[in-house]
């Protein structure tokens, strides 16, 4: 039996990459796993069972959890997402920053760990080495699914009638919408006509200045700058359907699901040239751009918006290249934990 951890995610009230991983894996594993909170699994699981978690955790948030791991009433498996709270503490929730060192150390007590990318795998192994831990579980990469909306993959799409760019992600410094807005403002001021659609909630601690910048720009760019604070998967798919490209100027990711999900919809992605994004961008359909380079982003967007042949080539690559699915991810988990 696989006990699938839903201690926190079962009551999740907003969409995030972590929520996406938990929800889609749980759906694809529904016939092969039992969803439950960790405390219930601790009383029901036997030595032959698995406790499998994609959540973040700490002893402070889950009193008794360290004892559960030490007692090992069953086998333990987890998904590791990233070390962003350790690498960027100044723009990360203080609670996440406080939790993360202990969380990453507790992962060493599991029997098996999957990282969501090669880059995140190296971050976890590097942290364990820094701690001087010797007995460690195997850590493999689990390719995450691109099929976010459970719909068939888009393998052919007409060229969008209007030049529109789509940026998906919570408004916060890490997602770097400020750089994107600056590059787009340069292009609008130069006379280039196109729309920018931003999708994502506002980080209540770090995102308000970006939201204020959006509102300021909308006073003069209301016809071309649109902000969708709440968009479900159907609305997101509709926005993809009319986009010439998605834009992903992030400065740090564990995997970068918006890039994969864009490609699933047949939409090219202009993304930051980060090692973690290159893992999925390199097979085609993407235009990597130097992170935080305003001039480079401005010229990349100009090319994408004005060079129809170039945009068509990226779109053809996006629809033709192989992409991972959540069913494949679930099959990997299920086969390993059999």
pLDDT tens across 200-216, in order?
Answer: 999 999 999 999 999 99
Show me where the domains of the chain are located: 2-145+325-336, 164-320
CA distance 70 to 78: 15
Residue 11 scores a pLDDT above 80:
no
- Positive or negative CA dihedral for 45, 50, 53, 57? positive
Asked whether 54 and 9 are in contact (CB, 8 A), the reply is yes
- Over residues 72-78, the mean pLDDT reads 97
- Over residues 71-87, the mean pLDDT reads 97
pLDDT tens digits along 220-271: 999 999 999 988 889 999 999 999 999 999 999 999 999 999 999 999 999 9
Helix, strand, coil % in the chain, rounded to nearest 5: 45, 15, 40
Q: How confident is the model at residue 156 (pLDDT cuts 50, 70, 90)?
A: confident
The full length of the chain comes to: 338
Six token digits for residue 217: 């720009």
Query: What is the 3-class SS of 152-212, one letter each residue?
Result: CCCCCCCCCCCCEEEEECCECCCCCHHHHHHHHHHHHHCCCCCEEEEECCECCCCCHHHHH
In the prediction, which pLDDT does 148 show?
Answer: 87
Residue 134 scores a pLDDT above 70:
yes
Domains 2-145+325-336 and 164-320 equal at CATH topology level? yes
pLDDT tens digits along 281-297: 999 999 999 999 999 99
- Domain spanning 164-320: CATH superfamily: Glycogen Phosphorylase B; (3.40.50.2000)
- Over residues 14-26, the mean pLDDT reads 86
In the prediction, which pLDDT does 118 show?
Answer: 98
Residue 12 scores a pLDDT above 60:
no
- Domain spanning 2-145+325-336: CATH superfamily: Glycogen Phosphorylase B; (3.40.50.2000)
Question: Which stretch of DSSP H or E encloses residue 329?
Answer: helix 326-336
Closest C-alpha among 270, 267, 225 to residue 250 = 270
Maximum distance among all Cα pairs of the chain, rounded to whole angstroms = 67
- Over residues 183-211, the mean pLDDT reads 96
CA distance 316 to 285: 7
Distance of CA 164 to the CA centre of its chain: 22
pLDDT tens digits along 303-330: 999 999 999 999 999 999 999 999 999 9
In the prediction, which pLDDT does 233 show?
Answer: 87
Six token digits for residue 266: 């047949």
Mean pLDDT value across the chain:
95
In the prediction, which pLDDT does 114 show?
Answer: 98
72-108 burial, b at 16+ Cβ within 10 Å, e below that, comes to ebbbbbbbbbbbbbeeeeebbeeeebebbeebbebbb
Burial of 48 (0-12, 13-18, 19+ CB in 10 A): exposed
**Strand ranges for the chain from DSSP E:** 2-5, 34-36, 50-53, 75-80, 112-115, 139-141, 164-168, 195-199, 225-228, 245-248, 269-272, 286-289
CA distance 126 to 158: 45
Cα dihedral 275, 284, 264, 238 in deg (nearest 10): 100
CA distance 152 to 181: 32
Cα dihedral 10, 11, 14, 19 in deg (nearest 10): -20
| pTM flag (> 0.85) | yes
């Amino acid at each position: 039996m696989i006990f699938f951890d839903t201690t926190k995610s079962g009551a999740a009230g907003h969409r995030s990459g972590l929520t996406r991983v938990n929800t889609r894996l749980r759906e694809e594993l529904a016939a092969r796993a039992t969803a439950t909170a960790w405390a219930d699994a601790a009383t029901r699981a036997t030595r032959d069972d698995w406790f499998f978690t994609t959540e973040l955790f700490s002893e402070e948030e889950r009193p008794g959890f360290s004892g559960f791991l030490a007692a090992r009433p069953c086998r333990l498996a987890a998904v590791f997402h990233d070390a962003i709270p350790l690498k960027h503490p100044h723009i990360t929730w203080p609670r996440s920053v406080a939790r993360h060192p202990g969380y990453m150390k507790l992962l060493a007590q599991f029997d098996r760990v999957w990282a969501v990318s090669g880059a995140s795998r190296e971050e976890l192994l590097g942290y364990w080495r820094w701690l001087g831990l010797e007995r460690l579980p195997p850590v493999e990469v689990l390719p995450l699914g691109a099929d976010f909306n459970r719909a068939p993959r888009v393998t052919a799409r007409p060229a969008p009638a209007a030049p529109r760019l789509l940026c998906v992600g919570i408004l916060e410094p890490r997602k770097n919408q400020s750089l994107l807005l600056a590059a787009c403002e340069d292009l609008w001021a130069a006379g280039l006509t196109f729309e920018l659609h931003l999708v994502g909630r506002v980080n209540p601690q770090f995102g308000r200045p970006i939201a204020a910048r959006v509102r300021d720009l909308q006073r003069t760019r209301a016809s071309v700058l649109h902000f969708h604070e709440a968009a479900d998967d159907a609305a997101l798919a509709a926005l993809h359907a009319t986009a010439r490209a998605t834009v992903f100027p992030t400065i740090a990711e564990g995997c970068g699901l918006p890039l994969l999900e864009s490609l699933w919809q047949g939409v090219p992605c202009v993304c930051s040239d980060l090692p973690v994004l290159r893992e999925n961008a390199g097979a085609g359909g993407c235009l990597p751009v130097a992170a935080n380079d305003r001039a480079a982003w401005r010229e990349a967007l100009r090319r994408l918006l004005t060079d129809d042949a170039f945009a068509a080539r990226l779109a053809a690559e996006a629809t033709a290249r192989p992409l991972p699915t959540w069913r494949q991810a679930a099959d990997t988990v299920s086969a390993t934990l059999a």
